[in-house]
Structure 1
């Protein structure tokens, strides 16, 4: 979980929630970045 966690020493709860926003934008799952782009 730490290898995939983008957060600095955060639990899988935050690691799965934060990285899911910056990475999904390329897959089309990020709506906050999709609206700006």
Structure 2
């Protein structure tokens, strides 16, 4: 795996984590908002 692929994977993982924690904290309204960006 190249460095750029690894970085891209980290960014995707980070956004997924942010969306999930957002969902757990604020509920589905926040989920839909985060997913709509």
**Which structure has the greater CA radius of gyration?**
2
Same fold (TM over 0.5): no
- Larger RCO of the pair (alpha carbons < 8 Å, separation 6+): 2
Q: What's the TM-score once normalised by structure 1's chain length?
A: 0.35
